[in-house]
Chains A and B, each alone.
Chain A
Amino acid sequence: MPLSDLKADQTELVVLSVLAEGPSYGYGIGKRVAALSEGDWKIGPGQLYPLLSKLEKAKLVKTSWEEVKRDGADPDAAGRRRKWYQLTAKGRQRLAQRVDAHRRAAAVLDRFLSIAGAEGATP
């Protein structure tokens, strides 16, 4: 059975976790999510960029710009701009809280699953 789509709430947790590894940019974050989930989860650009914008407004991430050029492009030509995201202290704190809340919820869920385990287990 395919995994269900990420909910908005989970998307935030996933993006904050990716940024906890180090600074990244939008497209890079999307690729990292696909790679870590082995393709099971994809965050589409229509979801990712508005979310990043929200995180920036909430000061959970800070941003900076870098000029990038295509391989083999004229070194004097103006490149395009890449927006980098980096977790702030507030962002780390939020992530820690989210991870904690998630672990608790998962632990409670596990208790229920262990009751159901006798019937649900496949030999």
Chain B
Amino acid sequence: MSATSEKTRAPVEPSSRDAIGDWLAVFARTLTVPAGERQEILDELEDHLRARVDDLMITGLNEPEAMRKAVGELGETVGLARAFREAHTERRRRRTMQIATITVAGLALGLSTLGLLPSGTGGGATTPPAQHAAAAAADPEAEPAPTVVTISVEDNEVRLEEYLDRVAASIGRRALVRWAEMGERALDRRDDFINAASHDRVPLDEVLLRAFAEIEAVRVPGLAVDVVWRVRDDVVEIGAQAGFDLREMRRKTYDIQKARPVVRTGQVKLAEVGDIVRNSVEPNAWTKSGGKAANLQVVGNMMVVNAPPRIHREVTDLLRELEHERNIALVSLRKARVEERREFRIQEVDRLRGRIESGERRLQMLENELEDYRRDWAKTKHDQTSRDRENVSSLVLSGRIADLEGYIAVLREEIMKERLEILGRRAQLATARSRVEAAAEEEPGR
């Protein structure tokens, strides 16, 4: 392989504006990951598409067909963008969730290297209970501060039940363990736990995680530990995620009017916001996809969500993101409309000016014509007078004079009409100009 190690490069436009370039431009707009990463994703997808097109063309497709097929294989842009965003945000979400999910096999790497554990050092070994009561009474959706425990080893082998009591006691609480739920995780209160080290001011998270992980490592290799705990008034409650989800389920109503995505052709239906939420936040948790932890319903402008706090937190985050995206979309849409109106008004001024000019040209022509007829009339009139004097019949000339007078009358009327027309257009032009100026003042710098 001849890969270069070049890692940074100025973002570039797709190498050409064809079907692939167009698709990448559309996709770039839906992809909400940091800018540097976005360019890398776009470059990688462009390489994929072009390599695919080359292969498809070998099978006999022509280039446009091959491009259509290659782009079609990527699926709809929104879904793909979401998959990338999830890949990007997964770590952040897991950190904020106060869940310790760890594959026991990963233990060999050492817990601290996994970066999953909040590593707080605040508080003391014996934080006053009052402080905890305050924390527990506060919004359960707030990020909990890490609790630090200190326990010393008296004998190295204890039962899990006893050990958990001891851990809880070290911070002045008792342990409330949901053993029924834990049974599903193949954990048992009679499990022996080899307590290898004494802990001095170690985060509660880590101590509990170590205990559970170590037991699972012995009993069921390959299984994931999925244990959650909460420090409440006077207890440390320990259980499985699913159990906490059911106990902490609460109903919350969200106004989704402002979260509805905007597209160039209009607005997405409100019910679709529900689909976006279900697909973006823990897709497997929702009853619609067979989960138990959450359900939602869109009623009018409102979305009613039944879910545990961690899901509510993510729903709130997602709606805020959607509102933000919507605002950006609305602003750019509004800008485009203002721009269109401005263009239209400038064109209107030009159009009017053109019509006035052509009117003036016609007026000039009519006046020239009138002048010709007048001269003709004067000359004919003069001829008639001299013939009258010579007693020559001037009947023919009289007819011509009558005709000329008729033409002159018509021309005068035409000229009058043209002048009025021009006056009218001048008035329109003045209005159109003042509109363009007003629009320019609305938007300074234009």
Do A and B form a real pair? Answer: yes
Contact A23 B74 (CB under 8 A): no
Q: Which of A32-66 contact B (CB under 8 A)?
A: 44-47, 49-51, 53-54, 57, 64-66
Instruction: Determine whether B26 belongs to the interface, using a CB cutoff of 8 Å to chain A.
Output: no
Contacts of B5 in A (CB 8 A): 64-65
Contact A83 B4 (CB under 8 A): no
A44-B75 in contact given A50-B87, A65-B3 (Cβ < 8 Å): yes
A66-B4 in contact given A26-B44, A45-B48, A45-B74 (Cβ < 8 Å): yes
A53-B84 in contact given A27-B51, A81-B43 (Cβ < 8 Å): yes
Inter-chain CA distance A46–B116, complex, in Å, is 27
Q: Which of A71-85 contact B (CB under 8 A)?
A: 71, 78-84
- Report how many residues on chain A are interfacial, defined by Cβ distance under 8 Å: 35
Contact A80 B43 (CB under 8 A): yes
Instruction: Determine whether A68 belongs to the interface, using a CB cutoff of 8 Å to chain B.
Output: yes
How near does chain A come to B360, taking the closest CB pair, in angstroms? 55
**Complex: chain A residue closest to B86, CB-CB:** A50
Contacts of B75 in A (CB 8 A): 44-46
A81-B47 in contact given A27-B52, A51-B87 (Cβ < 8 Å): yes
Contact B105 A101 (CB under 8 A): yes
Instruction: Determine whether A70 belongs to the interface, using a CB cutoff of 8 Å to chain B.
Output: yes
Residue in contact with B15 in the complex, picked from A26, A80, A82, A90, CB distance below 8 Å? A80
Interface string of B123-149 (1 = CB under 8 A from A): 000000000000000000000000000
Instruction: Determine whether B442 belongs to the interface, using a CB cutoff of 8 Å to chain A.
Output: no
How near does chain A come to B346, taking the closest CB pair, in angstroms? 38
How near does chain B come to A23, taking the closest CB pair, in angstroms? 5
- Among B6-14, B271-279, B413-421, the stretch that binds chain A is B6-14
Instruction: Determine whether A97 belongs to the interface, using a CB cutoff of 8 Å to chain B.
Output: yes
Contact A68 B83 (CB under 8 A): no
Interface string of B24-58 (1 = CB under 8 A from A): 00000000000000001101111110111010000
Contact A26 B47 (CB under 8 A): yes
- Chain B interface main SS type: helix
Inter-chain CA distance A93–B106, complex, in Å, is 9
Inter-chain CA distance A117–B87, complex, in Å, is 42
- Of listed B4, B9, B44, B106, residue having the most chain A CB within 10 A: B44
Inter-chain CA distance A105–B86, complex, in Å, is 29
How near does chain A come to B348, taking the closest CB pair, in angstroms? 44
Contacts of A83 in B (CB 8 A): 40, 43-44, 47
Binding site for A on B (CB under 8 A): 1-7, 9, 12, 15, 40-41, 43-48, 50-52, 54, 73-75, 79-80, 83-84, 86-88, 90-91, 105-106, 108-109, 221-222
